[in-house]
Structure 1
């Protein structure tokens, strides 16, 4: 679990948050990565939640929530049995 008021993560080789939690309670959560795996994990922001990635896998109970959600994906979004809300 990683929590902060605001959070910016840059993971050029990909980011595996399966079963994990990344939260920016009072502000923006910005993630820049190759591929983002969030199966059964959680991405939460009190402000803007922005993901720039090739592929985003939010299946199997993954949760993504923010005041506003912005995806910039070059590939696929997988959200089977996942939740994305704004």
Structure 2
């Protein structure tokens, strides 16, 4: 039985992917290059068909693994994916 991914699971998967890509590929995902709806739909369908999520992630990989800006914007995007848009991590 297929169950939809909850927001906590999506967040954990995003962090897990970031760590794997950084350690194994020496690249990170620039989450600003990935549309929220495209990402959430691709994640929801990934247990059945993973080509969409692979395509989104592959096209957003960058070599800037130590970039504070990319890291901070990734946190912002995580909150945005969860529906939180009131604050910007740079302002906190």
TM-score, structure 2 length as denominator?
0.25
Larger strand fraction of residues: 1
Highest RCO, 1 vs 2 (Cα 8 Å, sep ≥ 6)? 2
Larger Rg: 2
Larger helix fraction of residues: 2
